[in-house]
Structure 1
């Protein structure tokens, strides 16, 4: 029997849900990147110390950690649709308030609040989108979310530099406040988004689920099709602690570890590109800026072939081979820190390109490996663990460059990435072509659908 959601044709409705969800990733990239553009003018006017500068940059990541943990669970308890809109209002208000801050404490608190809202969106948006997508397009569409992050980061650089060029150092207030514009746009666009029928069924709200399904699918939402979907979403009474028991513990460990181990070097390289390239003596003229821009572009471009491979080759081969290939350029950089500029740049570009596989899987594996009752909770936990990696990479990289040098620092990054390969090789399952209910079920060891062999 054809499954109502899993086997549905990809429609304008699915495209709209994707674009609305991608808005959260756009804002994440925008808000995390805009600080780097305006930090100089902000520091001058507010007379920030070095530690205060670090806190301004880090508090959004701390907020992401808290938001993912807290609102992932809340989303599984009260639903996706309500929170899908509310937290963007928080981002808009906090962004406008940033224009009027009078000191570092106010700014740090606002950045923390923004981070909490962004962390919430990871859990809310990912869960909602995955529960609406047909199985044939689920991997590709979920993977495209990370590309919205890079678009947002690029937009932040363009807007920030344009404002600085026009207004000078005082532009930082307007640059931070500019995030309110896309936040308001996406808030308005998200109003009226239907609740996930999978979540409604898992909570026993069958009449509401039927109304939503009929609204979206029309005549295809027959009583038989709805009954079949309902049988897949029987409530099991799962809670957060279930993610740390039995088979789900293995999946929680896999998602958290591969996400964290991937993002430690990636976030450090993305955030400190010019600094790292300068350590490799690529600092003449605009060399480090141009090199950083090229590396950033390759992070985006690397996602494109990965989006195809994820459906043609599968999730497991993509993540295993991507981690293996990411290790190679980092080892070369670590062993040959005095290599010619072309070799250094090629290695960084290679790392950025190969990182496309794990990057798109950040949004796929957490939503496929856990059932509806705890899906947003699992995404929130994965997000929280990954932000530990982001904060660690951001904080430790400058220290490593200063105290042990660029070569050993690159080798440590290679070691972290190698651990990502080991985790993926050992724990990564294959979920390509599976219905969402099948992928998220705890399968017997001989079930080929979720084999790690």
Structure 2
């Protein structure tokens, strides 16, 4: 006799599956927008508020630091009180914080409000990933989560379009950029208002009848006799005691925890710098004027689709591990091309602020080669760790600690993101963009090595329940 989990693992995609994916995906879209819009905002605020590298670092990393706290808190609450418990609260936090960002009056207030926005973003990561993983059929799970998480990039592209459109309106346009991110959050709250609780979570609480009711919503074609048979089989299932949080760091799951944490940390350390600060990086690589920098940023963000679409189509066939390895190593090669080309370009001495500085003189060919290297890095990152790290963290743990585990991995990765956005702008000032690109290239290749040695393949495997 089949159980509720058997039916869920083998179920066809239904309207409820698609609604779940849309509600999660639109939240992720907003994550991408609000994380990335800060790059365009800084183009206006940096001269307006006379921001130095430290202030830029604070603004760039504030939301990511908030995401660290939100992921830890949100994941634990979701495991203890249910996935629905804060699935609306995190978006409401998101909405209110975006409004506050638009009303900020100085650097301190904006950093605080960006931190609060990050709390909402961080809580949504483990919630959306766990929610989708626990509802989706086994053979479709990887593809659906990848398609959905790809909306982060759509949000990032939209942020570039908004920045490109509004940046010419005047120095006050940065407030509009934040308001644009607030409006769609209300739509996501409406979509999520009546979503059901996860049957897997109900089952671990012994609430079999509630789990069966959700199954009937998920697979509406089940007859009364089939439901009765499934219910009888489920009641006979032997349940083990709840899994404690410390299991994440015990013998059974330590390898999995290292596997989902360390490569994701590396991905964020490398990826967030070359994503959030794309306009500034392009300025250091020969692009001049806000329009050309924002246009280049949009092209690089859109190139993510070239790697993301094949991965979403193939991830349930080729697995998660090999794309992640290829993405890390290929991305490192792309960044290496940027760094080496920049180092080989001639320089000239200029006087800036009373001191003599060596400024690179990039030829058109050098600029094209460096931009191509950035494209390679973006495309291969999207085919691998830019998506697989999020997916894998939702698949390696049992139901009792799935959201907590994903939240911990998200929080750990955000340490890399905070280091990337806060410290690397200051590091770049001392060592220069070319050398920093080479450092990041080495870090990306290290991510591929870590993935290989720690690998845990989850493709087409049922989720662990206990």
CA distance in 2, matches of 1:304, 1:238: 36
CA distance in 1, matches of 2:91, 2:290: 40
Aligned to 2:154: 151
Deviation at 1:49?
Answer: 6.0
Correspondences of 1:270-285 after superposition (within 5 Å)? 270-283=275-288
Deviation at 1:333?
Answer: 3.2
Worse overlay, 383-392 or 32-41: 32-41
CA distance in 2, matches of 1:283, 1:64: 33
Deviation at 1:46?
Answer: 6.0
CA distance in 2, matches of 1:335, 1:103: 39
Correspondences of 1:420-439 after superposition (within 5 Å)? 420-437=447-464
Deviation at 1:53?
Answer: 4.1
Give the counterpart of 1:249 among 251, 254, 257: 254
Q: Is the 8 A contact 1:91 1:114 kept in 2?
A: yes
CA distance in 2, matches of 1:100, 1:12: 39
Q: Deviations over 1:83-141 (max 9, x none)?
A: 11122112222222334333433332222111111111111111111100001110011
Worse overlay, 119-128 or 46-55: 46-55
Aligned to 2:420: 393
* TM-score of the aligned structures, taking structure 2 as reference length: 0.87
Give the counterpart of 1:207 among 198, 206, 209: 209
Confirm or deny that 1:132 pairs with 2:135. yes
Deviation at 1:387?
Answer: 1.0
Worse overlay, 132-141 or 397-406: 397-406
* TM-score of the aligned structures, taking structure 1 as reference length: 0.89
Confirm or deny that 1:263 pairs with 2:265. no
Deviation at 1:364?
Answer: 1.4
Q: Is the 8 A contact 1:65 1:119 kept in 2?
A: yes
Confirm or deny that 1:362 pairs with 2:389. yes
> Relative to structure 1, is the Cα distance of residues 341 and 160 closer, same or farther in structure 2, using a 3 angstrom cutoff?
closer
Q: Is the 8 A contact 1:130 1:142 kept in 2?
A: yes
Q: Is the 8 A contact 2:319 2:459 kept in 1?
A: yes
Worse overlay, 249-258 or 157-166: 157-166
Q: Deviations over 1:334-358 (max 9, x none)?
A: 3343373332222211111111211
Aligned to 1:445: none
Secondary structure (helix, strand or coil) at the match of 2:9 reads coil
Q: CA RMSD in A?
A: 2.5
Aligned to 1:322: 327
Structure 2, unpaired ranges of 5+: 346-365
Q: Is the 8 A contact 1:302 1:353 kept in 2?
A: yes
Deviation at 1:424?
Answer: 0.8
Q: Deviations over 1:414-442 (max 9, x none)?
A: 221121111111111222121123xx77x
Structure 1, unpaired ranges of 5+: 442-453
Confirm or deny that 1:97 pairs with 2:100. yes
Worse overlay, 278-287 or 171-180: 278-287
CA distance in 2, matches of 1:382, 1:72: 10
Q: Aligned residues, how many? A: 438
> Relative to structure 1, is the Cα distance of residues 127 and 264 closer, same or farther in structure 2, using a 3 angstrom cutoff?
same
CA distance in 1, matches of 2:284, 2:43: 21
Deviation at 1:282?
Answer: 4.5
Aligned to 2:360: none
CA distance in 2, matches of 1:25, 1:206: 31
Aligned to 1:291: 296
Secondary structure (helix, strand or coil) at the match of 1:9 reads coil
Q: Is the 8 A contact 1:34 1:160 kept in 2?
A: yes
Aligned to 1:353: 379
Confirm or deny that 1:225 pairs with 2:230. yes
Deviation at 1:265?
Answer: 1.5
Q: Is the 8 A contact 1:309 1:318 kept in 2?
A: no
Aligned to 1:5: 8
CA distance in 2, matches of 1:349, 1:270: 12
Q: Is the 8 A contact 1:201 1:233 kept in 2?
A: no
Give the counterpart of 2:184 among 174, 182, 185: 182
Aligned to 1:448: none
Aligned to 2:350: none
Q: Is the 8 A contact 1:201 1:230 kept in 2?
A: no
> Relative to structure 1, is the Cα distance of residues 177 and 286 closer, same or farther in structure 2, using a 3 angstrom cutoff?
closer
Secondary structure (helix, strand or coil) at the match of 1:144 reads helix
Q: Is the 8 A contact 1:56 1:108 kept in 2?
A: yes
Deviation at 1:307?
Answer: 1.5
Give the counterpart of 2:370 among 338, 341, 344: 344
Aligned to 1:312: 317
Aligned to 2:357: none
Give the counterpart of 1:384 among 401, 411, 420: 411
Deviation at 1:374?
Answer: 0.4
Secondary structure (helix, strand or coil) at the match of 1:136 reads coil
> Relative to structure 1, is the Cα distance of residues 373 and 231 closer, same or farther in structure 2, using a 3 angstrom cutoff?
farther
